[in-house]
Structure 1
């Protein structure tokens, strides 16, 4: 629906392969390979999320397999050394887990990933029950939206709302997600707002806002500057 932001439940993977606390190291490696995933949630009672195991949690076992680290390494990488000796999901998992709610927007999920430096987020409900998982790739799905669909939303939710009576018809063109607005409007102070609103439309890669003010009428306003050019990009924001 135009103007309605996508939420996590729209793009998340709902079929999630999860582990129990007692899953063994080899079982974890085998399952990851079979399902082509790099991380797996750990659940209790088949539903409640308690941790997550990733390839990074498994690698210390191979890294420290052929020798004992020196004292400095032991002190600096104590957590990794403990995982090198782990044999079950409970010992290997990272907990507590950074999660996201089903009704969070994609922008909110992206911010969490960036701030916490994670590649994926388990999706849970208010009771901590695992509902799915969302990855970076899932968040990028909005950029697969067609140019035609983006243009229609820009016309309906930005142009029609901000400029119901333009000085001249406003043209909306979209190519590879880049939106270009051309035409004449009565109030050029609205150009920065238009650019921000267009940029907020899901799937928009960039905005070229080339809107101009009304044509100058020397017979009526001889002292006004010529408004025959678009608002400079520096004023678009």
Structure 2
């Protein structure tokens, strides 16, 4: 993987299958089957994303198609019943669509997916037009990053930036995406910040922080004998 993926446009899929608002029910089913996707963005005549049609939306026709629609109407399932009667994308879609900007961080995209319980997000520009789509699996690509690349960035952006150029006593090692920081630092107050910044580096799975402050020197009233006894 070239470069360091840090924002959505680094990992998103650029080739996207989308629907027009007037797309017919059967054509939507065929498109999902052909492209092996469970949801498709819906565009208006200008290419702006106006909604999403998912398999869940499509299945309303089966769920409420058993001849008892009247009962469901009375039970307050009007939105679901309307989708059961739908025949085109604009009638089926969930709107407005939950989207993300191409320059959004991967962490932000992951939080949006978790909060809205969706598996993929249309990526839209400032004018609302479709630029790509990002899925859960796309967000995981960052964890394929090489350990050596991660280690180099942790040393450059965390160790050197926080503790200066004379950092020979501080070690940053990465194995399977897990960062281990060890050694002595002069300012112990910076240790929690170092761990937090290392965790924010793209591709980091976990951080094990073994940094410690400078060695303590014995006070004038305590002899530095290694051990002592009282009499």
TM-score, reference length from structure 1: 0.85
Once the two structures are superposed, residues 156-184 of structure 1 have per-residue CA deviations (whole angstroms, 9 ceiling, x without a partner) of 11011112266862111112211111111
- Distance in 2 (CA, whole Å) between partners of 1:54 and 1:197 is 38
Count, aligned residues: 221
Secondary structure, aligned partner of 1:161 = helix
Secondary structure, aligned partner of 1:45 = coil
Contact 1:167-1:184 at 8 Å conserved across structures: no
- Distance in 2 (CA, whole Å) between partners of 1:85 and 1:70 is 12
Contact 2:5-2:11 at 8 Å conserved across structures: no
> Does 2:79 correspond to 1:79?
yes
- Distance in 2 (CA, whole Å) between partners of 1:222 and 1:183 is 27
How far has the Cα of 1:119 moved from its partner? Answer: 1.9
* Unaligned segments of structure 2, at least 5 residues: 225-231
- Distance in 1 (CA, whole Å) between partners of 2:55 and 2:114 is 19
How far has the Cα of 1:69 moved from its partner? Answer: 4.7
What residue is the counterpart of 1:235 in the other structure?
Answer: none
How far has the Cα of 1:115 moved from its partner? Answer: 2.4
Query: Cα–Cα, structure 1 residues 217 and 166, in superposed 2: closer, same or farther, change >3 Å?
Result: farther
* Unaligned segments of structure 1, at least 5 residues: 227-237
- Distance in 1 (CA, whole Å) between partners of 2:205 and 2:111 is 17
- Distance in 2 (CA, whole Å) between partners of 1:37 and 1:94 is 16
Structure 1, 206-215 or 193-202: larger mean CA deviation? 206-215
| Cα root mean square deviation, aligned | 2.4
Once the two structures are superposed, residues 119-167 of structure 1 have per-residue CA deviations (whole angstroms, 9 ceiling, x without a partner) of 2211111211111111122112111112111111101110111122668
Contact 2:64-2:84 at 8 Å conserved across structures: yes
TM-score, reference length from structure 2: 0.87
What residue is the counterpart of 1:68 in the other structure?
Answer: 68
- Distance in 1 (CA, whole Å) between partners of 2:124 and 2:198 is 31
How far has the Cα of 1:196 moved from its partner? Answer: 0.7
Secondary structure, aligned partner of 1:29 = helix
What residue is the counterpart of 1:22 in the other structure?
Answer: 22
Query: Cα–Cα, structure 1 residues 74 and 11, in superposed 2: closer, same or farther, change >3 Å?
Result: farther
How far has the Cα of 1:76 moved from its partner? Answer: 3.2
What residue is the counterpart of 1:129 in the other structure?
Answer: 129
Contact 1:181-1:210 at 8 Å conserved across structures: yes
Q: Output aligned runs, 1:1-237, within 5 Å.
A: 6-45=6-45, 47-69=47-69, 71=71, 74-164=74-164, 169-218=169-218, 221-222=219-220
